[in-house]
Structure 1
Amino acid sequence: MYTYLLFIHIISAVTAICAVIGYPLIMSSVRTAGQARFGLALLEKMAILPKAGGTLLLLTGLALGFLQTYLFHQMWYVVSIAIFFVILVILAILLPSGIKEQLALLQQTQGEALPDEYRRSRRRSAWLEGIANLAVFISNMLMVFKPI
């Protein structure tokens, strides 16, 4: 059972991480309002990946902990779960609200030039995406090397 849960856990992590890494890659090439609308629509569709992968990741991670209860006493395990919740807040709450705000700003835009308000909102989202990527990196490091 442990091996199967671990397999699902790893696949879930890959699914969720691909989306987290993909967000800034998609939006970094946006230069016009039309491209931004398309990119944001794509991000809205991709949002299912971190939600589904993250849910499975949390459930399988906790199940692994219940199968081997000593994990709840390991600092790397507890810190990884805490970091997961930081990532969850960013991906499930903060970024979607930023995407909605950016889409609303683009709906008011005529022409292909990106408005300054959009650029400010996009910088905030890019900053959050960077934090999420750093958190994913740290979480992966903790799970692989189990340093503490």
Structure 2
Amino acid sequence: MYNYLLFIHILSAITAVAAVICYPIIMSSARTVGQAKFALSLLEKTAILPKLGGTLLLLTGLAIGFQETYLFRERWYVASIVIFLVILVIFAGLLPAGIKQQLKLLLQTQGDNLPEVYRLSRRRSAWLEVVANLAVFISILLMVFKP
């Protein structure tokens, strides 16, 4: 059973992490209102990936911990769960709210130039994406090297 859980855990991590890494790449390419609308709608559609992958990641990680109860005494394991919860808050709550706000701002925009209010909102989202990507990197380091 452990190997099956580990396999699902790794696939879930790939699904969730790929989406997390792609957010800033997709959004950094938007230069016009039309491109930004398309990029934001794409992110809305792909938002299921970090949610689904992240949920499976958490569930399989906890299941592995319940099979190997010593893990709950390991700092790297507990730190990975805490870091994951930070990522979850960002990708399940903060970024979707930012995406909706940015789309709303763009729908009110006339012309093709990105308004300054959108740029400010986008900077906040970009900062959250950097934090989430850093958290993902640290989480992967903890899981691979188990310090």
TM-score of the aligned structures, taking structure 1 as reference length? 0.99
The 2-side partners of 1:31 and 1:107 are apart by 15
Query: Which ranges in structure 1 are unaligned for 5 or more consecutive residues?
Result: none
Is 1:83 the counterpart of 2:83? The answer is yes
Deviation sequence 1:34-79 (CA, Å, 0-9, x none)? 0000000000011000000000000000000000000000000000
The 1-side partners of 2:131 and 2:109 are apart by 29
Q: Which secondary structure state, in structure 2, belongs to the residue aligned with residue 8 of structure 1?
A: helix
Query: Which ranges in structure 2 are unaligned for 5 or more consecutive residues?
Result: none
Q: Which residue type is aligned with residue 80 of structure 1?
A: S
Return the offset for 1:105: 0.3
The 2-side partners of 1:105 and 1:116 are apart by 10
Q: Which residue type is aligned with residue 47 of structure 2?
A: A
Instruction: Give RMSD over aligned pairs.
Output: 0.3
Percent identical residues:
74
Deviation sequence 1:78-106 (CA, Å, 0-9, x none)? 00000000000000000000000100100
The 2-side partners of 1:42 and 1:31 are apart by 15
For 2:49, the equivalent position in structure 1 comes to 49
Size of the alignment, in residue pairs?
147
The 1-side partners of 2:97 and 2:11 are apart by 27
Q: Which residue type is aligned with residue 50 of structure 2?
A: P
For 1:17, the equivalent position in structure 2 comes to 17
The 2-side partners of 1:145 and 1:57 are apart by 18
The 1-side partners of 2:104 and 2:45 are apart by 17
TM-score of the aligned structures, taking structure 2 as reference length? 0.99
Is 1:120 the counterpart of 2:120? The answer is yes
The 1-side partners of 2:68 and 2:100 are apart by 41
For 1:94, the equivalent position in structure 2 comes to 94
